[in-house]
Amino acid sequence: MDQAFSAGQGAAAERIEDFVDGYEAIDQETLDRLQILPGCARVIKIRGDSMWPTFFDGDKVIADTNSVKLINQGVFAFEFDGDLKVKRFFKRIDGSWLVSSDNKDDPSYPDEVIAPHNAMQLRIIAQIKELRSRAI
* Superfamily covering domain 2-133: Umud Fragment, subunit A (2.10.109.10)
CA distances for 133 relative to 19, 33, 64, 65, angstroms: 18, 17, 16, 19
Provide the mean pLDDT of the chain. 86
What is the structure's pLDDT at 3? 47
Spell out the domain ranges in the chain: 2-133
Model confidence at 22: pLDDT above 70? no
**Residue 31 to residue 8: CA distance in whole angstroms:** 28
**Each residue's pLDDT tens digit, 56-105:** 999 999 999 999 899 999 999 999 888 889 999 999 999 999 999 999 99
Model confidence at 53: pLDDT above 70? yes
